[in-house]
Amino acid sequence: MIDAFKSEPARRIAVLGAPIDIGASQRGTLMGPAALRTAGLLTLLDRLGLEVKDHGDLSIRDAIDLADAPPENAKHYREIQRWVRALSTRAYELARSGAIPIFLGGDHTLSKGTVNGIVRHWHEIGRELFVVWLDAHADYNTPATTLSGNMHGMSAAFLCGEPGLDRLLGEEPRLPIDPDQLELFGTRSIDKLENDLLRSRRISVADMRQIDEFGVGVLIRRVIDKVKARHGVLHVSFDIDFLDPSVAPGVGTTVPGGATYREAHLVMEMLHDSGLVRSVDIVELNPFLDERGRTARTAVELIGSLFGQQITDRPTPTNAIGPDD
């Protein structure tokens, strides 16, 4: 099946909003998809020569509840289950279309569904999917280790097949990735039991100490080289709290000491240059906590870098990418 893979990245983009905010303690990320659109995301992608189709926002209004018993310490399990099942199905369909899906969140709970559907597609083609988790948090808790019960903090663990949410997808196929296919990047807030689990699974963690010591360029190059050596592809799960709060205040779980504006752009530029990125999440943007749309505009600029915008053609930061331009 490898011959079916084209070496050139797809030029078609499929955008899907996932307005979910019940996986986090701070409500408001359900307005994230609208804020990213308003900040000019689709306009920018179109300017980069990409064929962009906006599929609107996913709805779970008609989803049927399952009968499995909700686990303890998993808040809003039933509604999140509806979201995850629907997102997995749609992610699989969009990936099969040959487009690069971009999922607009919404809290990081959505990745349980989006990544699972993307993995299913690449598994059928015979390719490994690696996940770059750009995030202040590891999100590697389970119902047995979580301190809060918030399910956005369990997403990476779920994707790696950790137990505790075994019936979350119902009859939807679950295809966990190997822990070796998860790359945590920019991490700086990890719970103790979560850290123990990460170490036992030997998850790759490029935390902010390592970024300070070696630089983002060296560390993201290691990820790229690893994926290329195994003939894999990349999913970028971009939690906006990866950035320092001074750059991106519009998130509900700010952690000081995050990536700078320039560090984040370098990561995105190098990921673009690799030619490996085939799907993206943008999560945890909370417009109610933002400063006049600054975080949304910064996120859009970074996605521009991920899809090929160059320094020489980039407008003045946070100024010139509005929808009316």
Q: What is the pLDDT of residues 229-245, one digit of tens each?
A: 999 999 999 999 999 99
**Tens-digit pLDDT profile for residues 27-84:** 999 999 999 999 999 999 999 999 999 999 999 999 999 999 999 999 999 999 999 9
Residue 173 has pLDDT above 80, yes or no: yes
Tell me: cis bond preceding 117? Omega within 30 of 0 counts. no
- Residue among 108, 121, 235, 265 flagged as catalytic: 108
For the question of residue 241 being annotated catalytic, the response is yes
Q: 310 pLDDT band (50/70/90 cuts)?
A: confident
Average pLDDT estimate for 308-312: 82
For the question of residue 152 being annotated catalytic, the response is yes
Name the pTM for this structure.
0.93
- Residue among 241, 244, 269, 301 flagged as catalytic: 241
Q: Which amino acid is at 45?
A: L
Q: What is the DSSP string of 283-302?
A: E---GGGSSTTHHHHHHHHH
Three-class SS state of 263: helix
- Residue among 76, 137, 235, 265 flagged as catalytic: 137
CA torsion, ordered 194, 196, 197, 198, to nearest 10 deg: 90
Angle between helices 216-229 and 261-274 (to 10 degrees): 20
HSE, side-chain direction, 13 A CA sphere, residue 204: 17
pLDDT of residue 66: 95
How far apart (Å, rounded) are the C-alpha atoms in residues 135 and 317?
22
Average pLDDT estimate for 165-171: 97
Burial class (CB in 10 A: 0-12, 13-18, 19+), 140: buried
**Tens-digit pLDDT profile for residues 201-229:** 999 999 999 999 999 999 999 999 999 99
- Residue among 162, 284, 290, 301 flagged as catalytic: 284
- Residue among 21, 107, 135, 290 flagged as catalytic: 135
For the question of residue 55 being annotated catalytic, the response is no
- Residue among 239, 263, 269, 281 flagged as catalytic: 239
For the question of residue 139 being annotated catalytic, the response is yes
- Residue among 121, 152, 235, 265 flagged as catalytic: 152
Residue 158 has pLDDT above 60, yes or no: yes
For the question of residue 121 being annotated catalytic, the response is no
pLDDT of residue 320: 44
Query: Please, what is the average pLDDT of the chain?
Result: 94
Average pLDDT estimate for 10-36: 95
Average pLDDT estimate for 276-297: 97
Cβ-contact 131, 149 below 8 angstroms: no
Q: 2 pLDDT band (50/70/90 cuts)?
A: very low
How far apart (Å, rounded) are the C-alpha atoms in residues 224 and 307?
16
**Tens-digit pLDDT profile for residues 93-136:** 999 999 999 999 999 999 999 999 999 999 999 999 999 999 99
For the question of residue 235 being annotated catalytic, the response is no
Instruction: Give the dihedral sign, CA 117/29/56/58.
Output: positive
For the question of residue 128 being annotated catalytic, the response is no
How far apart (Å, rounded) are the C-alpha atoms in residues 95 and 82?
20
Q: Which amino acid is at 30?
A: L
Q: 9 pLDDT band (50/70/90 cuts)?
A: low
For the chain, helix, strand, coil in percent to 5 are 40, 15, 40
For the question of residue 244 being annotated catalytic, the response is no
